[in-house]
Structure 1
Amino acid sequence: MKTSLLSDRLWPNAGLARNAVLALFGSLLVAAAAQVNVPMLPVPMTLQTLAVLMIGAAYGSRLGAATLALYAFEGAIGLPVFAGFKSGVMLASFGYVLGFIAAAYVVGWLAERGWDRTAPRMFAAMLIGAAVLYVPGLIWLAVWIGPEKAIQLGLLPFLVGDAVKAAIAAVGFPAAWALLGRR
């Protein structure tokens, strides 16, 4: 059973113009978050995946996935929206960008079913979304550097950051719902 989403509560009149504005805003938010480096060990993390998964949760499955498809398209045609102001499909990290679309869909689907209302479920939704985005990301990366190195360099160093991002969303979304009043 679908429940309302944060985007519906903040801008209730659904329509093509609203969705286009939200998709553009979301793609710009992900582009900005991709440029933010947070020092962590063993590798620094960006806020890109946090933005991706939170957009899925706030927008829902379809608009979340469409927003990330727009972001992927912007980078594919040469706009410098990826981490480090990069663009293009011939990047070792482009598989993760494709994974963003599926991850936003999955987290959005879970949010449509109320998973964004409690901390434990939102934490789980974020971890599930992170796992989903790793599948095409690691497959694509493995083509470039081999499967062993893909796991070693493209997954393991980011697990702690993923847990931190999931915790942020697990606190943030239920708090936002508490402020807005649950429906």
Structure 2
Amino acid sequence: MTEIVSTNKPRPQSAARTIATIALGVVFITICAKLRVPSWPVPMTLHTLAVMTLAVGFGPRLATATFLTYLAVGAAGLPVFSGSPERGIGLAYLMGPTGGYLAGYLAASWVTGTLALGRRTLGRTLAMLAGLAVTYLAGLAWLALFVPLRDVMALGFMPFIGGDLVNIAMVATGALVLPARLAARLGR
């Protein structure tokens, strides 16, 4: 009896390609962070758009690695965060009012990417909403350390939820087809 052994195994992504993908993802997140509407204590940015696009396009591991790299680059002092350097840089920025949202986006990268795997539009949309909920839970809990509890929803949720839902709708409906397809091609 002759046994045929297949050598057509999927090749793992090369290290150079992974690094390039993560670097491009960090640039994308940074651009989305810099496109902002100044507000206090948390600026309005396109972070949600970036995180959800990458989570759906890259999957959980690469999306999380990309956002973690973004946080590390910012913690090291590079001005990648919204409003940096004028609102602070490095660890000082991460310890400020937006730190909880940034931690929430890190968790959302994993949650959204995991829940979106193999799903169609509705499933990806629900995955993004779950990721957004994680972001808000972390962000609002952290923000409560900086503003009176009675003001947390008014300052950290109400001004942002409408825009975040529009961002999710854009990713879900394919308004970002090219970035999502590029992310999928690079990430997988």
Q: Shorter-chain TM-score: what band?
A: 0.7 to 0.9
In structure 2, the CA distance between the partners of 1:38 and 1:165, relative to structure 1 (3 Å rule), is farther
What TM-score comes out, normalization by structure 2 length?
A: 0.76
In structure 2, the CA distance between the partners of 1:145 and 1:174, relative to structure 1 (3 Å rule), is closer
Structure 1: how far apart are the matches of 2:124 and 2:157?
21
CA contact (8 A) 1:92 1:141 kept: yes
Match of 1:143 among 136, 142, 145: 145
Alignment pair present for 1:109 and 2:114 = yes
Q: More helix by proportion, 1 or 2?
A: 1
Q: Specify the alignment match of 1:163 in structure 2.
A: 165
Structure 1: how far apart are the matches of 2:17 and 2:112?
21
What TM-score comes out, normalization by structure 1 length?
A: 0.78
- After superposition, the CA RMSD in angstroms is 2.7
Structure 1: which 5+ residue stretches go unaligned?
1-11
Aligned residues: 162
Select between 93-102 and 81-90 the one with higher mean Cα deviation. Answer: 81-90
Structure 1 stretches (4+) deviating beyond 6 angstroms? none
Decide which structure has the larger Cα Rg and report it. 2
Q: Specify the alignment match of 2:63 in structure 1.
A: 64
State how 1:1-183 maps to structure 2 within 5 Å: 14-37=13-36, 45-86=44-85, 87=89, 88-112=93-117, 114-115=118-119, 117-118=120-121, 120-172=122-174
Structure 1: how far apart are the matches of 2:37 and 2:149?
27
Using the TM superposition, give the Cα deviation of residue 81 of structure 1 relative to its aligned residue in structure 2, in angstroms: 0.8
Select between 164-173 and 67-76 the one with higher mean Cα deviation. Answer: 164-173
Using the TM superposition, give the Cα deviation of residue 76 of structure 1 relative to its aligned residue in structure 2, in angstroms: 1.4
